[in-house]
Every structure is written in structure tokens, then in C-alpha cells.
């Protein structure tokens, strides 16, 4: 243990935590100890089970053990040093992996080497592979119908022997630390790297390739899967791959690719290959693939779905992936069907989902933040403008539902008039289970939507695992989010104001990926492991030091004007309508109060439509609509506060072309323009303005040719701490919306500098 920086007199546990069907513990070294044994047990069990020695590793200033293959539940570690010192950890919780998506259909025994409860399959074989044994590791593989075995030597050799198709023993290949290309025995795919191949199409290959801890990585090569059924890839990084990071090429099925960190590959010869060729590519009649909880880090071409021979009977699922400033192909679909939900599109400089060649996709409950073109269909809509955006192939159909879209350049939805000239990118469904008519066809190619696959995706395969679109960014960035355990040992932060619109390589990131080194030193008995020894985990990026709120407030140049700007008011203010995160939504939760507003003509102009159903998927975050405020062409929506308004934001409908103007006034007679917003169909950012001097009135005017809708608002007024007691008193007195007007008169007397009413946890202004 001489490489450790210091030693303590007894075992001092530093961290203990749980993850997906696993847990970890770290501790300080003990003086004089040369090895450690670590045990794990269920929190309510009487006895411990010893972990494999390879799960206990050494780092420059601490030691770490990981327990994997755990059922959901609470567990506890015990650490014993060879000096006799020992310690028990606090309990940790192992959480279930999200086994949603097409890969898990008709796989009751689980994918790869694991059962669906997270434990190893009966009789499974475990191989620990690291830099120093990737060429020399051995195991026997059945290679004939008579049960004859052959000893494989080296990782590629062992996997190749499985190709003969006789050995169905579940195999868990556990990666320790970084395995570089030069560490490998050989590659059966010179284009990609490690090849996992079945004997023939869709051959059962119960193999899991998994990383241990937060620092497992393949460096200098990727993976090629062919003819495989039931392979699982999880919890490792792919860095500086040869061509694709993961290529599912030809007749694969029920493959689960999840919790990977995916970085730059080696530059190719073409202009669009400066970040590598591809990241996760699915083609060659591969079907029932789930790609989930992966972190795509500034990748150029994130994912390809199909080439030319496939059909929409090839079904795939993408969910909870974090497309972190990756440029395009999220995915680019040819010929196949994709269910794409709960993904976070985070500053994508080219486009999100691309559709070509008769493919179909259900795109729902995703969060698009500053994705230039959230959805594109080849040779129609936005793609047909000018020289085209991404493809010259025939189109397909995207069905969009209940997505949040923030600051797109353009997103055009289907309408009867748009159908005649192909000026639409996607079909916006009014309900999730809407069946798209066969009359709706791709503008070029004339193909229709695969409603059969859509129904299967909606009703059978996700098992109600879908999250609200508004929650997706926090989920994928959270502890149980996208990428490796604990988000890996390589952290890169993007400055949105620089990187949201940049699709070129980041030279510092290229250098860091190319020269990456793990902090892993070796096993806990002092055995060294190559490719490690970095003193600290890698942290970089121009976004370091930028707060999340500041980073996410950036509006790219392509989004156009958003009204009067988003400057902070110079006067101290209090949020009066809405919350810090959301707007005040006109929905079932506050229907009575909204209706009460509109019986008082002095407050709001416009007509509340309690039965009107705003299109879900227009960028709003409320899924339980009752109605919206519908503003006729040229009419006004006026908000009045006696005490003044310091900042206002309106969320406007994504239906039809938009033309809004904002004006403010001190007296309700003379109005001064404070900004305007114009745009086309699609989810729009707030129309907003801030004022250095509090305004008494703010007026929103619709200048479009037809009616438009306001679906939410947020309002700030000058702070008034002295009135809080009166506000609380009214809240206690009011038991229903019917009592509002009786109390309003009293409220005006109690606090004439502003009319604020709090009811049901919602702040509402009169």
C-alpha cells in the first residue's frame, strides 16, 4: 500500500452509497495494512457474503469496493483489514434499473448475464478484465455439440469462441479501470474493435459487458455487435473509438445499451467525421434495441437508425438519454420505428430527431433546450428550405406529443393546408393514443405512419415508466441519471453561451479524451493495474463556475427576439403569480379561480376557453389542461397592479404563426412599447419584459391573423413584506373561489398597494 498518500490508525469510512442494483464504499487506508476483505449483506440479514477480491481496489488516497448484482433493497458493507481492524458502513439502497423499452419484450429471464431482478443468472460465469490481463485472461468455452471445450486466451478470443453457438452459459465480463487498444489480444473488427458476434441471425448470446465503479472505460476502440440476441452493455465509457463507439450491425435483437459515457472518436476522413464517425448506430435488420440513460458528450453524429434494407417492423426505444451538446442524429432514422421519450436535448447545434426513408417515430415527453431543429423530416418542412438541412432522401413521419421545446429555430406541425405543400416537420397529436390517418403521408415517398408499432410502444413496452417532460433534465443529471455510476470520473461542463451554437470540435476536450488516465492504481492487495495513476479525476470545460440558472437562461441567436429581454429588474420584487420554476397554468387545479378572474372585466381582457384543448407538445409543462386564455386578433390581455409590475412573462401557444407585442403603462391610458415577439408554429419561449420603474399596467396584444392563446403567466411586483400577514389572513378566511370577491374588498383596504390572493398553494393576482 506504499502508493497511498497517508494511512490512518483505524478504518475510516469516507463514503457509502447505492446505485442501480449496486453499491459502493470508500475508506481511508489503515496503517500497516497490506490487504482488505470486504463483505456485503442485506440490511436485515444475519450474515455477510464476501465480495470478489477484484471488486476491492486501490486509489491514490483511498480504497473502494463495489457490490454488483443486487436486488432492490437496503444493504450494508463490512471492511476488514489484514491488521484485524474492521468497520461496518451505514446502509445504502440499491435501486432497480429501468427495464422499459422494446429490448425487454419477451425476455422474462433477463438480458445478458443478469435476471430481471438484478441478480446473476444461475450458473453465470464472471470474468474480471483489466489492462494487464486483457491479452492473457483464460476461460473454457463449449465449442462443439458434444460438449468439447476450448480454452480461450484473451478477451476477443473468448468472445469469439462464443460465436460457435454451443455455449449458452451467461457471461458477465466486468471491466476494471481503462482498457486501451494496445492492451487487447486482437480485434476481430478492424473498423470498430471488439466484436461480439453470434453464429447466425439473432443468436442467443447471454453476455453482459459492464464496468465496475465509476471509472471503467474502453479507450482507442469501440464495439461491433452482429447476429446477437440478449447482449447488455452498461456502466463504462467509450473514448477515442476507431469508427463507431457502439455499432449494432446486422441482425441483432433484444440488446440493451445503457448508462454509458460516450466521448469523441478518432477523426475520420470526411468533413462530418471530425469527432469520429458515429456513436451508437443501429442497422442491418436489428430490432428490439433499447438505448437508455446514456450520456452523449459533444458527439458529432449521435445515433443512426437504419440504412436501406430495414422496415418499420424493426422497433427500438430511446429513453432518458442526455444529449449533452451533441450535434445531430438523436437519432437519424431510416426505415425503422423508434419510440423516443424522456430524453434531454441539451444545446444541440444542428438537429434533434431526423426522419427519412419511410421511417416512423413516436416522440413524446422529451425536453428540448436550445435544440436548433427539434424534429426534421427529409425533403419537407424545414428541411426543404433553401439547400436542405440534413437529408436528400425521402421522408417519413414523426408523431409528436407533449414535448417541451425551448428556443427552437423552427418547428412546423402538420395541418391540412401544410399537407398540400409539405410545409411540416412532424404531426402534433392531440391525444397520446391518437391514430394517425392513412391520409397523412410523407411529402416525398408517400409513406404512412406505423400505428401498430406506436400502439405497442404506448400500451405494452414502457410499463408506465414515463416521467413528466419537465422533470427530465433533473432526472438525467441526477445521481440516478444518465451515464456511468456517479457520472463517471471524467466531468466536462459546457458554457451554453459558447457551446449551444458550436458544432466544431473543442480542442481542450479532444486533448483530454485522447490523453485520459484513470486514478485507479490497482487492487487492494497491492497488485498494480496499468493505465491509471492520475492524482485526481478529470474535471474540465468552459462552463465551470457558471450556475445552472445562468447557463440555462441563454437564448441562442437562432431563436430570434423574445420581447423586452430578460434583464433583472432594478427594484426588489416578489413573485406574485406562478412559481420560481413554472408559470401559472390554466388547468384543472385552478379552474375555479381562473373562471373567477374572467367575471371581473377590469382585470383581464380576452376570453377564457374552459373547453379548448391547447395542443400538447407545444412546449408547455402542464399535462392536465382545462383551457387557455384565447386572444382574438388585435385584442389585448391586460394585467393591472396598483403597486406596480417589475417583471412579466407570458407563455404563448405554439399553434400558428405568432405576432405578439408587449406594452406598459403607469396610468392605463398611455402605453409604451417594451418589445415584440414573432415566430412560426412551435413551442415558444416566454414573451417577457422587465422594468427598472414599476409599471401599473402591462398589455399583451395579438397581432396575428387569427386567434392565439396564452397558456400561462408569471408576474413580479415590488416586494411588500408588511402585507404578508394580511395575505395569510385572507388565505385562512377563504375556503373556496366563491369567497374571493367578498374578501377582495377587504384586501384592498388592508393592503391598497397590491391585490394578492393565496389559495390552494397558488399565488394569484387581482
| pLDDT (average), residues 202-230 | 98
Q: Which residue has the cell 436486488?
A: 71
What are the grid coordinates assigned to 289, written together?
Answer: 434495441
- Taking CA atoms, 7 is separated from 1, 27, 62, 522, 621, in Å, by 9, 10, 9, 17, 52
Burial class (CB in 10 A: 0-12, 13-18, 19+), 721: exposed
List the one residue out of 265, 290, 303 whose CA is nearest residue 181: 265
Give 598's contacts (C-beta < 8 A, 6+ positions apart). 604, 607, 608
Alpha helix ranges (H) inside 35-83: none
- How far apart (Å, rounded) are the C-alpha atoms in residues 612 and 387? 39
Q: Residue 363's beta-bridge partner residues?
A: 340, 400
> Which SS3 state, helix, strand or coil, does residue 708 take?
strand
Helix H or strand E segment including 143: none
Angle among Cα 192, 196, 199 to the nearest 5 degrees reads 125
Instruction: Kindly report the pTM of this predicted structure.
Output: 0.76
For residue 50, report the phi and psi dihedrals to the nearest 5 degrees.
Answer: -75, 135
- pLDDT tier for residue 211 given thresholds of 50, 70 and 90: very high
- How far apart (Å, rounded) are the C-alpha atoms in residues 589 and 581? 17
List the one residue out of 624, 602, 574, 620 whose CA is nearest residue 763: 574
For residue 329, report the phi and psi dihedrals to the nearest 5 degrees.
Answer: 60, 70
| pLDDT (average), residues 441-460 | 94
Give 269's contacts (C-beta < 8 A, 6+ positions apart). none
Q: For the chain, what's the residue count? A: 766
Distance of CA 495 to the CA centre of its chain: 18
| 367-369 vs 56-58, strand pairing mode | unpaired
- pLDDT tier for residue 621 given thresholds of 50, 70 and 90: very low
- How far apart (Å, rounded) are the C-alpha atoms in residues 512 and 374? 30
- Residue with the bigger pLDDT between 657 and 468: it is 468
For residue 313, report the phi and psi dihedrals to the nearest 5 degrees.
Answer: -80, -5
> What is the secondary structure of 376-400 as a DSSP string?
EETTSGGGGSTT-SS--S---EEEE
Peptide bond into 331 cis (omega under 30): yes
List the one residue out of 150, 240, 257 whose CA is nearest residue 196: 257
- How far apart (Å, rounded) are the C-alpha atoms in residues 598 and 764? 13
Tens-place pLDDT, residues 349-361:
999 999 999 999 9
Tens-place pLDDT, residues 349-398:
999 999 999 999 999 999 999 999 999 999 999 999 876 678 989 999 99
> Which SS3 state, helix, strand or coil, does residue 191 take?
coil
pLDDT at res. 547 = 95
Burial class (CB in 10 A: 0-12, 13-18, 19+), 5: exposed
- How far apart (Å, rounded) are the C-alpha atoms in residues 492 and 506? 11
- How far apart (Å, rounded) are the C-alpha atoms in residues 722 and 753? 11
Just give the CATH number of 12-94: 2.60.40.10
pLDDT at res. 271 = 81
- How far apart (Å, rounded) are the C-alpha atoms in residues 523 and 766? 67
- Residue with the bigger pLDDT between 763 and 73: it is 73
Tens-place pLDDT, residues 652-702:
765 567 777 888 888 777 777 776 676 654 444 456 777 767 888 888 888
- How far apart (Å, rounded) are the C-alpha atoms in residues 315 and 246? 18
- How far apart (Å, rounded) are the C-alpha atoms in residues 676 and 565? 10
| pLDDT (average), residues 571-589 | 58
Q: Assess whether pLDDT exceeds 80 at residue 765.
A: no
- How far apart (Å, rounded) are the C-alpha atoms in residues 218 and 260? 11
pLDDT at res. 663 = 83
- In eight-state DSSP terms, residue 54 is G
- pLDDT tier for residue 315 given thresholds of 50, 70 and 90: very high
| pLDDT (average), residues 76-93 | 97
Q: Assess whether pLDDT exceeds 90 at residue 249.
A: yes
Tens-place pLDDT, residues 398-415:
999 989 989 898 899 999
> Which SS3 state, helix, strand or coil, does residue 194 take?
strand
Angle among Cα 497, 324, 678 to the nearest 5 degrees reads 50
Just give the CATH number of 561-765: 2.60.120
pLDDT at res. 578 = 57
pLDDT at res. 748 = 29
Domain boundaries of the chain, sorted by first residue: 12-94, 561-765
Amino acid at each position: 500500500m506504499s502508493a497511498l498518500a497517508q494511512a490512518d490508525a483505524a478504518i475510516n469510512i469516507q463514503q457509502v452509497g447505492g446505485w442501480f442494483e449496486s453499491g459502493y464504499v470508500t475508506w481511508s487506508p489503515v496503517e500497516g495494512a497490506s490487504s482488505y476483505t470486504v463483505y456485503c449483506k442485506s440490511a436485515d440479514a444475519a450474515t455477510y457474503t464476501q465480495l470478489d477480491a477484484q471488486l476491492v481496489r486501490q486509489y491514490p488516497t483511498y480504497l473502494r469496493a463495489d457490490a454488483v448484482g443486487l436486488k432492490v433493497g437496503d444493504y450494508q458493507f463490512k471492511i476488514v483489514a489484514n491488521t484485524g481492524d474492521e468497520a461496518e458502513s451505514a446502509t445504502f439502497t440499491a435501486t432497480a434499473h429501468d427495464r422499459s423499452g422494446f429490448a425487454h419484450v419477451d425476455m422474462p429471464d433477463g438480458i445478458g448475464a443478469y435476471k430481471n431482478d438484478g441478480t446473476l443468472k444461475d450458473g453465470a460465469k464472471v470474468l474480471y478484465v483489466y489492462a494487464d490481463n486483457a491479452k492473457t485472461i483464460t476461460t473454457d468455452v463449449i465449442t462443439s455439440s458434444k460438449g468439447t471445450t476450448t480454452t480461450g486466451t484473451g478477451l476477443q478470443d473468448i468472445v469469439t469462441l462464443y460465436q460457435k453457438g454451443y455455449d449458452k452459459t451467461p457471461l458477465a465480463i466486468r471491466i476494471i479501470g481503462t482498457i486501451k487498444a494496445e492492451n487487447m489480444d486482437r480485434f476481430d473488427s478492424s473498423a470498430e474493435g471488439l466484436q461480439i458476434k453470434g453464429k447466425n441471425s439473432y443468436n442467443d448470446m447471454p453476455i453482459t459487458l459492464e464496468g465496475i465503479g465509476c471509472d471503467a472505460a474502453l479507450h482507442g476502440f469501440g464495439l461491433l455487435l452482429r447476429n446477437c440476441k440478449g447482449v447488455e452493455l452498461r456502466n463504462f465509457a467509450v473514448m477515442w473509438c476507431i469508427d463507431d463507439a457502439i455499432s449494432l450491425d446486422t441482425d441483432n435483437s433484444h440488446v440493451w445499451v445503457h448508462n454509458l459515457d460516450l466521448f469523441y472518436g478518432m477523426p475520420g476522413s470526411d468533413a462530418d467525421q471530425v469527432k469520429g464517425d458515429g456513436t451508437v448506430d443501429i442497422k442491418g435488420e436489428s430490432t428490439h434495441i433499447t438505448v437508455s440513460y446514456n450520456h452523449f458528450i459533444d458527439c458529432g453524429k449521435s445515433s443512426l437508425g437504419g440504412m436501406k434494407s430495414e422496415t418499420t417492423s424493426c422497433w427500438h426505444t430511446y429513453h432518458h438519454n442526455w444529449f449533452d451538446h451533441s450535434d445531430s442524429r438523436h437519432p437519424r432514422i431510416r426505415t425503422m420505428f423508434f419510440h423516443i421519450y424522456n430524453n434531454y436535448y441539451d444545446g444541440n447545434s444542428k438537429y434533434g430527431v431526423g426522419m427519412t426513408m419511410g421511417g416512423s417515430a413516436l416522440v413524446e415527453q422529451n425536453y428540448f433546450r436550445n435544440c436548433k431543429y427539434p424534429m426534421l423530416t427529409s425533403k419537407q418542412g424545414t428541411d426543404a428550405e433553401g439547400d436542405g438541412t440534413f437529408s436528400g432522401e425521402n421522408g417519413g413521419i414523426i408523431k409528436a406529443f407533449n414535448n417541451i421545446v425551448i428556443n427552437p429555430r423552427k418547428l412546423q406541425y402538420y395541418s391540412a393546408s401544410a399537407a398540400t405543400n409539405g410545409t411540416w416537420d412532424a404531426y402534433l397529436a392531440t391525444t397520446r393514443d391518437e391514430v394517425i390517418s392513412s391520409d397523412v403521408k410523407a411529402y416525398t415517398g408517400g409513406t404512412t405512419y406505423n400505428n401498430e408499432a406506436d400502439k405497442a410502444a404506448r400500451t405494452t413496452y414502457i410499463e408506465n415508466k414515463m416521467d413528466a417532460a419537465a422533470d427530465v433534465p433533473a432526472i438525467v443529471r441526477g445521481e440516478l441519471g444518465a451515464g456511468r455510476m456517479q457520472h463517471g470520473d471524467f466531468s466536462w461542463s459546457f458554457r451554453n453561451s459558447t457551446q449551444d451554437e458550436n458544432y466544431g470540435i473543442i480542442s481542450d476536450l479532444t486533448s483530454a479524451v485522447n490523453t485520459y488516465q484513470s486514478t485507479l492504481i490497482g487492487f487492494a492487495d497491492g497488485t498494480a493495474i496499468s493505465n491509471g495513476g492520475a492524482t485526481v479525476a478529470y474535471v474540465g470545460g468552459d462552463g465551470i463556475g457558471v450556475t445552472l440558472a445562468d447557463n440555462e437562461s441563454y437564448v441562442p441567436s437562432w431563436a430570434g427576439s423574445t420581447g423586452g429581454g430578460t434583464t433583472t429588474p432594478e427594484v426588489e420584487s416578489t413573485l406574485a403569480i406562478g412559481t420560481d420554476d413554472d408559470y401559472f397554468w390554466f388547468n384543472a387545479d385552478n379552474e375555479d379561480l381562473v373562471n373567477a378572474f374572467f367575471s371581473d372585466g377590469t382585470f383581464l381582457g380576452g376570453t377564457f376557453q374552459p373547453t379548448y384543448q391547447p395542443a400538447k407538445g407545444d412546449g408547455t409543462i402542464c399535462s392536465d389542461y382545462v383551457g387557455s386564455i384565447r386572444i382574438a386578433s388585435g385584442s389585448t390581455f391586460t394585467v393591472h397592479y396598483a403597486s406596480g409590475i417589475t417583471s412579466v412573462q407570458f407563455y404563448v401557444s405554439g399553434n400558428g404563426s405568432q405576432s405578439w407585442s408587449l406594452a406598459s403603462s403607469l396610468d392605463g391610458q398611455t402605453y409604451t412599447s417594451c418589445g415584440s415577439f414573432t415566430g412560426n408554429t412551435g413551442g415558444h419561449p416566454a414573451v417577457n419584459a422587465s422594468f427598472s420603474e414599476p409599471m401599473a399596467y402591462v398589455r399583451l396584444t395579438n397581432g396575428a391573423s387569427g386567434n392565439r392563446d396564452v397558456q400561462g403567466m408569471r408576474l413580479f411586483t415590488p416586494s411588500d413584506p408588511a402585507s404578508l400577514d394580511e395575505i395569510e389572513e385572507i388565505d385562512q378566511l377563504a375556503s373556496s373561489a366563491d369567497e374571493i370577491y367578498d374578501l377582495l374588498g377587504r384586501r384592498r383596504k388592508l393592503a391598497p398597494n397590491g391585490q394578492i390572493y393565496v389559495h390552494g398553494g397558488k399565488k394569484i393576482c387581482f
